[in-house]
Amino acid sequence: MALLDIKNVTKEYRKGDKSVAALNGVDLAIEKGEFLSIVGPSGSGKSTLLNIVGCLDTPTSGSVLYNGRELGGLTERQLSDYRRDNIAFIFQSYNLIPVLTVQENVELPLVIERKYSKSDMARKAVAVIESVGLGTMADRLPRELSGGQEQRVAIARALVKDPLVVLADEPTANLDSATAEDVISIMQRMNTDRATTFVFSTHDLRMERHAKRIVTLRDGAIEKDERRQ
């Protein structure tokens, strides 16, 4: 059984009187531990697919199954709980909370989970901050960091709760080459070491190069689905 099973998903948006199809009958099964890149031109439906997989958005038709459980029809609260317990996000523009320090930003998903003691949260956060190479910057605020450092914090924030799936929307788009390589290698390491499933949309060829599976979208439909060794 696939970890995530997307079955015949369509997504339509209203644009005035017109209906625009962002996804058009997408079928995709994602196994545990995949390092999957979704590629395609702008407007092909990459972000929409990630949003639906992450339960940030709901499909117009079709279904999304997580570990065999249908996610359609969940209440707002159940969707929040699903995201909290299973999914982590990395955003193109980092989206750190500006008033929280690096460590507090990383602790945030654990605080939302409400499963850990204060000391356990601190311990886990420090460990993951060190693993992304920012051990000396735990007390800094996001405005004191470079773009690359901010994205590493975002990765640490995504990984701190040991999620089964990390969804990343263009994670290297705002980074220079060297920093992008760093970020990719961290994600790869986490994928290898923790068997964390990574699904990321990208235009970045460097990221594509490291992907174990590349799904190409065009006009809201899967054009190509290739696996690499």
Q: Which residues bind other proteins (CB under 8 A)?
A: 51, 54, 56-57, 76-77, 80-85, 88-89, 91, 95, 97-100, 104, 107-109, 111-113, 157
Where would I find the H helices in the chain? 46-53, 76-86, 102-113, 118-131, 147-159, 177-194, 205-210
Q: Which is nearer to other proteins, 2 or 56 (CB)?
A: 56
Instruction: Judge whether 133 and 152 are in contact, CB under 8 Å.
Output: yes
Least Å from the CB of residue 148 to other proteins: 19
Q: 3-state DSSP call for residue 164?
A: coil
Least Å from the CB of residue 56 to other proteins: 5
Q: 3-state DSSP call for residue 160?
A: coil
State the residue for tokens 């929409």: 48
Q: Which is nearer to other proteins, 34 or 107 (CB)?
A: 107
Distance between CA 109 and CA 111 in Å, rounded? Answer: 5
Q: Which is nearer to other proteins, 16 or 98 (CB)?
A: 98
Q: Which is nearer to other proteins, 95 or 179 (CB)?
A: 95
Distances (CA, A) of 155 to 41, 102, 166, 206, 228: 25, 11, 9, 18, 24
Least Å from the CB of residue 126 to other proteins: 17
Least Å from the CB of residue 204 to other proteins: 20
